[in-house]
Amino acid sequence: MRVVIAEDNALLREGLVLLLTSSGHEVVAVVGTGPDILPAVLEHRPDVAVLDVRMPPGFRDEGLRAALEARERIPGLPVLVLSQYVEESYAAELLGGGSSGVGYLLKDRVGRVDEFLDALERVAAGGTALDPEVVTELLTRRRDTPVDSLTPREREVLKLMAEGHDNTTIAKTLVVTERSVSKHIGNVFLKLGLPPSDSGHRRVLAVLAYLAHTPR
């Protein structure tokens, strides 16, 4: 898979290049500032772009802005955004469009090689990959919403769905049957006022978009 990397930290940047190339992927461009991201993406049209949220010159949200603009210019462009901390507004904005092929991971996750590569491949394939800590923040920061009506097991299922896992993986993680998982998912959508769906990443994005736009 062809990858564009945008990261201002030289050590992490080179680490990503080494990790991806040693895993059989092709790094077609590496940039270190916000303004360089969009030209690189438009030139190389990668299978996936890995972008740091905060980039020079302002170290605010240059990477996120570039990711959103790139997805407007290249509809469906898979983007995996990296962040040093859980920043709910960034995750919500990235997911707010309800489109596929998006990921939001904390940088610490890169060190967990298998998890990072799995997330990258999931995003490149049009799925979602959200850091478990990000999902936890999105869920726990909400108060007086339909999420509060979920049972503990339904919240576990919702959390795993939000991370991008399919029914089979959720069933194995919770040590229950897939039929039981499907039942819990149906209850989650019913309580959240969302139409039931088994369309993979679309159901995850629908739930997260709902959470992201529900008043705290």
Per-residue b/e over 13-33, b at no fewer than 16 CB within 10 Å? beebbebbeeeebebbbbbbe
Arithmetic mean of pLDDT, 110-124: 91
Q: What is the mean pLDDT of the chain?
A: 84
Task: Report the range of poorest mean pLDDT among 70-79, 108-117, 132-141, 158-167.
Answer: 132-141
Check pLDDT > 90 for residue 5: yes
Q: Whole-model pTM?
A: 0.76
Arithmetic mean of pLDDT, 9-25: 95
The helix-helix angle for 62-73 and 37-44 (nearest 10°) equals 30
- Quote the CA–CA distance of 70 and 179 in Å, as a whole number: 39
Tokens at 208, concatenated: 């997260």
pLDDT tens sequence across 140-187: 665 566 777 889 999 889 888 877 788 999 999 999 999 999 999 888
- pLDDT reported for residue 216: 46
- pLDDT reported for residue 33: 94
Arithmetic mean of pLDDT, 22-28: 97
- pLDDT reported for residue 9: 93
pLDDT tens sequence across 28-74: 999 999 999 999 999 999 999 999 999 999 988 899 889 889 988 99
